Amino acid sequence: MGRSRKAISAFAGLTPEIKEALRASSVTVVQPVSSVAAVVDEPITLDYGIADEPDPSLFAPAQRPAKRRRTDEDNSSELDEAPSSKKPAHALSKGLIPSDATSLVPFYASEDDVPAHLQKYWCQRDRLFSRFSEGCLLDEEGWYSVTPERVANQIADRCACNVILDAFCGVGGNAIAFAQTCERVIAIDNSPTRLALARHNAKIYGVADRIEFILGDFLDFARSSAA
């Protein structure tokens, strides 16, 4: 322990003429060792014969500008111009969710009514919601983001418990499935429209009374709860 391996010279294999030229330029040549495994008590260093010491300022760490202490004037001006976007946990709300979802998005009764860019999802409507024809509603994002019902049911079977949190409930695919295997579901989303659609769809499945729909940003809620 504490012993260092002997350095192998970078000058091994040089011709005598080159070695002599290096010696003349004040460079110390360390002779190569016969075995890499050879060890000595003191490490060997190379002297490159630098006459002048380098300027220490070249190696000094860069100085960061001093932070300016914030003043009451700064704080007041920021509050007037741009209030903080961070929402505390109590910003989660149930009162801002529209009570009637039927006026928020159209219900498509036939493929001809569906916009062209959504028609590719139309054939999957019964896979998304088996009761779609009873009036299930989806916004544009819901058509391609909702969990298909059979998949949501399998997830819910594995997650059966007393209370479960659906952090990004969207139009309610997973929340509805959770409500069929769990005692209580807390469904959070940052869109009042999607929450209204989720509640509307949950009523069609008869499980709306087991779901608490909350408007808010789950990431802000999680950060504030962990603080």
Q: pLDDT, tens digit, for every residue of 39-60? A: 444 444 444 444 455 555 554 5
Specify if 87 maps to a domain: no
Residue 213 located in a structural domain: yes
Q: Identify whether 89 is part of a domain.
A: no
**Total domains, the chain:** 1
**Could you tell me the CATH number of the domain that includes residue 183?**
3.40.50.150
**Does a structural domain hold residue 58?**
no
Instruction: For residues 115 and 132, give the distance between their C-alpha atoms in angstroms, rounded to a whole number.
Output: 17
Nearest in space to 49 (alpha carbons), one of 19, 30, 27, 18: 27
Q: Which two tokens stand for residue 63?
A: 């100085």
Per-residue pLDDT for 28 more than 50? no
Q: Residue 222 domain-assigned?
A: yes
- Residue 56, in any domain of the structure: no
The answer to whether residue 163 sits within a structural domain is yes
CA dihedral 164, 169, 171, 174 (to 10 degrees): -40
The range of the structural domain enclosing residue 182 comes to 107-226
* Model confidence pLDDT, tens digit, residues 149-176: 999 999 999 999 999 999 999 999 999 9
